[in-house]
Amino acid sequence: MVALKSKRTTSGKHKRPVRRAALQAPDHRPATTAVPTSVASAEQAWPYMLDAWQRSILFLDALRQRADNIEEHERAGLPPLLDFKYETILDARHFDEPVNYALLRITEVGEDCWEDCVDPAKPPVIVVDPRAGHGPGIGGFKHDSEVGMALHEGHPVYFVIFFPEPVAGQTLAHVHHALRRFVAEVAQRHPGKPPVFYGNCQAGWAVTLLAADCQGLTGTTVLNGSPLSYWAGEPGTNPMRVSGGLLGGAWLAHFISDLGDGRFDGAWLAQNFEGLKPEKAIWEKYAGLFNKVDSERERFLEFERWWNGFYTLSREEILAIVENLFIGNKLEQGEFRICEGCMADLRRIRNPIVVFASYGDNITPVHQALGWIPAIYEDTEDLKQAGQRIVYLTNPHVGHLGLFVSAKVARFEHRAILESLDEIEALEPGLYEMKIDNPTGDPDCHKPQYSVRFEARQVEDLQIPQPSKAFERVRSASEFNESLYKTFVSPWVQATANPWSAEMMKWLHPMRTSRAMFSANFNPWMRGVAILADAVAQTRVALPDDHPLIEQERLRIDQVSQAIQQAREARDGACEQLFALLYGRPNLAKPDRASPAPAAQA
């Protein structure tokens, strides 16, 4: 984790470093010590057996409904899952350099129109969703979201979406120029009010490129769970950073794109995300649904509609992303070439940046969200001389997706950011930690019920281990392997691939077949499950949560989860050791785990 030395804050008081435990998502299950160990009586067993049978039927029916929702979404063309009405302002598919992006304007919130919600004196907010395997909408697929909070605070809101299929041959440079045109359009509609940018995950570095290119940005940029330092991370905790080296570099993404007839299926990225923490993303998701199917069904279906809408990237895009960012780490090093004559330079950024990261995020760990700061600026004085203002805000436990989709995070942290834009703009150049004090404990309160302060920090105190030469060797190996593949193998693979074979490979992907097998159209037996589930729902009376056998069930779920976690940790440790054998140790000496005190308890 990021380690921060004890420093005198702007309030003049000393902060003692806080020891943080290993990065794990919070466990909301009852303590195992409270579970009774006595054998259940027959009177308790029979109601539990009936309840478990009913939950099994309802569980299978939820999987059937998920599969039907996926099919319905596919037939509709995978539209963005926004919980707000909108109109299309610009469609980049009709630009001179076409790309599969569009700019939307949010027009209605429930029964309220634009004019009822928007304060014309406030700057517009542009929300850009990540293009990392899934479709757009995660920043606004429910009312309590980034879009909802921005509208609630009176900001005009624009949303950048993308379509399922890329334009043939589109590149990152084409996308960059389209985003630049979107910015110009919004700025023209709101003269004198620089837009505020919300970049989620992958969209964060895309927005950062806009700020670091030859034109730059002027409005505040909020980076939510956005990686900018791709080689950073904590050994044993963030194994994804070594996976590129273990797979031999970028050639594999090239190979999959060739098999896909020039397109890279986003289902591969979603599968990688689930594999990072299978005990959470796979086991606990389904076991939790079974255990609380009566209350969790709708939440499960709502999220899965987005999670299983897989979008594609062009071969040129995925190769540029892997080679320049995940393998090459060229953005942090100032070697990212945007287009002819323009290199991205993070030192060129002058607009205020707010970095929102979480210690529970295993996809974009705090190291990758903040590591670029000491890599770009030698010390605090260097940052001040550059005229830059960087504010960081940390959450103690929420996971990666929680930074975007958690209603509690949206109503608390994102609301606080939006309500503090003027204060952020007025800060003197330097590094600050945003701290939120909320004695009410109510995430829906407004200022002055809660207060925000910006404590000055020192760049020198961001003790993030610098990557070793091992990652340089990975980059060299990747360039060599990619050169061999591109020259001797890729032409033959492209000659044999065709739209039919690419479509077959798409629908045989495990992320799709594992869902489709529960569809009534694919599996006729599921129609019987639907009929049976209707009958169960009409007569079902759920057992109380404190029933002894329900508590025993949760205990068994927790034990299986712990076993999977231990297996995953052993796998990650083996990957780290194999990486060390192949490329040298990437910096296995763990730093002091002291960290900034959490900005807020979400």
pLDDT for res 452: 93
5 has a pLDDT exceeding 70: no
Higher-confidence residue of 84 and 17: namely 84
55 has a pLDDT exceeding 90: yes
> Cβ atoms within 10 A of the Cβ of 361, count?
27
CA 344/CA 332 separation, integer angstroms: 9
8 Å CB contact between 243 and 474: no
Confidence of residue 599 (pLDDT cuts 50, 70, 90): very low
543 has a pLDDT exceeding 90: yes
pLDDT for res 143: 84
- Percent of the chain beyond pLDDT 90? 72
pLDDT for res 193: 93
Average pLDDT over residues 548-561: 96
pLDDT for res 339: 86
Q: Quick: pLDDT tens for 506-536.
A: 999 999 999 999 999 999 999 999 999 999 9
Residue found by looking up tokens 């990392």 in the block: 132
pLDDT for res 43: 79
Residue 107: phi and psi, rounded to 5, are -110, -30
pLDDT for res 584: 85
pLDDT for res 270: 95
Q: Quick: pLDDT tens for 429-474.
A: 999 999 998 877 777 777 788 899 999 999 998 877 766 789 999 9
Residue 161: phi and psi, rounded to 5, are -115, 175
563 has a pLDDT exceeding 90: yes
Architecture of domain 1-31+81-231+333-465: 3-Layer(aba) Sandwich (3.40)
SS3 label, residue 213: coil
Please, what sign has the CA dihedral across residues 329, 334, 339, 340?
A: negative
pLDDT for res 598: 37
> Cβ atoms within 10 A of the Cβ of 488, count?
9
Peptide bond into 448 cis (omega under 30): yes
Q: Which pTM does this prediction carry?
A: 0.88
Among the listed ranges 37-46, 205-214, 329-338, 403-412, which one has the minimum average pLDDT value?
A: 37-46
pLDDT for res 238: 78
Q: Give the pairing of strands 594-595 and 337-339.
A: unpaired
CA 331/CA 308 separation, integer angstroms: 30
pLDDT for res 530: 96
pLDDT for res 587: 59
Question: For the chain, how big is the Rg over CA atoms in Å?
Answer: 25
pLDDT for res 239: 81
CA 451/CA 446 separation, integer angstroms: 9
pLDDT for res 42: 72
Cβ contacts of residue 363 below 8 Å, gap of 6+? 201, 225, 240, 273, 276, 400
